[in-house]
A and B are shown apart, each in its own frame.
Chain A
Amino acid sequence: MNDKNKIITGLIIFIVIITFPFWYNMGKASPVPEPKLTDKAKAAKECVEPKEYMKVEHMQILDIWRDSVVREADRVYINEKGKKFNMSLSTGDDSCMGCHSNKADFCDKCHDYASVRPYCWDCHIEPPKEKK
């Protein structure tokens, strides 16, 4: 009876909470990130697997690669087409980051957007850029 005000206050708080995403983003532009390819990556045309596959499965490939390298000392990856690749994230020119050397513009763009923080770089370091 006399709790009407309390209940309505609670209801308003609830509505504010559940509509939080609507007003949190108000007036903010949130462009969809476009990962940039380096010239080297562009020239190579294709990654170890097709782009669509890489987009959704790259984390699993890296996970499998890690186990293969660390546990079985096997550094050779053969893709669908039978082409051989060196399994390495960040060492040398024929590693993932040898081609995709622009971590901030390539890896981080989508990861930040989707709030994914891979623990790759807990151990690996981004290969230092050559000074020009």
Chain B
Amino acid sequence: MNVNYMFSLLAVVVLILLAYVGVEGAGLQVLFGVIIPYIAVFIFIAGFVYRVMDWVRSPVPFRIPSTCGQQKSLPWIKENKIDNPSTAGGVIVRMIFEILFFRSLFRNTSCRLNEGAKITYVWEKWLWLAALAFHYSFLTVLIRHLRFFLEPVPVCLQLLEKVDSFFQLGLPGLFLSGVVLLAAVIFLFLRRIYIPQVRYISLASDFFPLFLIISIAITGIFMRYFTKVDIVGIKEFAMGLVTLHPTIPDGLGGLFYVHLFLVSVLFVYFPFSKLMHMGGVFLSPTRNLPNNNRAERHINPWNPSVKLHTYQEYEDDFREKMIEAGLPVEKES
């Protein structure tokens, strides 16, 4: 038994019970349906701004040349313009690769002992693949949910839904993104359990969001395909929230409030956790600065102004004495 994931699992179970009992038992629809979601959105935005502004204030005076390619050098040495950019354009391309395709993660290798004591680094793409699947399906699911918050529903959303339910499996049509999301997040969880090294470095703060997202996905899938909810009622509810005229339609069911409460918890938790890599990835100093240390001089902006006394000035002061003592001087008189 690992304390880290047991605690996280327990925390999520408690949260689920809290919302379910709160709504089904105590009838706290207004608390879980209106007050908590509003607070959650507010804390999310305020916390996000707070964290980013904190990073803005953290100085990054120098370029950190953590690179994966040949630096710009002599004209006959070929520069790697993306992996070791010397211009803003190169940096933008590197950042696009990083943010949209997780290029750093793509370089992931796993280190094994092969043939006895021979160490080998093997390319390991599963983490990258699962991460990519997870992030993109989560984004798709998130955007799909906008259909509850927008009226009329924009055409691009309808198009997305059409693509997402491409296989027309069952009714209501199966959304692929939901399945991929759940599968990928479970893979990411199992990876932390089954790989000993990864389990060793995994903390409760790694497991908690995973359990939270797994629970959100499962409750969502249950509502859509199995237990069923009154979709028009939910849209009425969601529209009430975004038009600032909250209403609580009857018969939304405990499961819906559990789903909503877990999402609210995720929103509150987000800015103060590792999930802030969403904003942080844009500010990675090793990725978003051109490596031009050798071409340009970067002066530390908070250097105190030191009164300089250069060698030339020193020689001017002591030239005659130096000549007398037989010391070499740069200028004779």
B21 interface residue per 8 A CB criterion: no
Residues in A with CB closer than 8 Å to B56 are: 3-4, 7-8
Chain B: interface residue total (CB-CB under 8 A): 44
Contact B231 A11 (CB under 8 A): no
Chain A at the B interface: SS class: helix
Chain A: interface residue total (CB-CB under 8 A): 38
Contact A7 B283 (CB under 8 A): yes
Contact B235 A114 (CB under 8 A): yes
- A112–B228 Cα distance when bound, in Å, is 19
Of A21-29, A38-46, A96-104, the one with at least 4 CB within 8 A of chain B: A21-29
Residues in A with CB closer than 8 Å to B55 are: 7
Residues in B with CB closer than 8 Å to A32 are: 232, 235-236
Closest to B229 in A: A56
Shortest beta-carbon distance, A28 to chain B, in Å?
7
Contacts A33-B232, A56-B230; A115 near B147 (Cβ below 8 A): yes
Closest to A110 in B: B232
Contact B150 A24 (CB under 8 A): yes
Contact A21 B61 (CB under 8 A): no
Of A58-66, A71-79, A124-132, the one with at least 4 CB within 8 A of chain B: A58-66
Contact B158 A18 (CB under 8 A): no
- A20–B150 Cα distance when bound, in Å, is 9
B59 interface residue per 8 A CB criterion: yes
A-B contact pairs, 7 of them (CB 8 A): A1-B60, A4-B56, A14-B48, A15-B45, A25-B149, A30-B151, A30-B239
Binding site for A on B (CB under 8 A): 44-45, 48-49, 52-53, 55-56, 59-61, 146-153, 157-158, 161-162, 168, 170-173, 228-232, 235-236, 239, 242-244, 251, 279, 282-283, 301
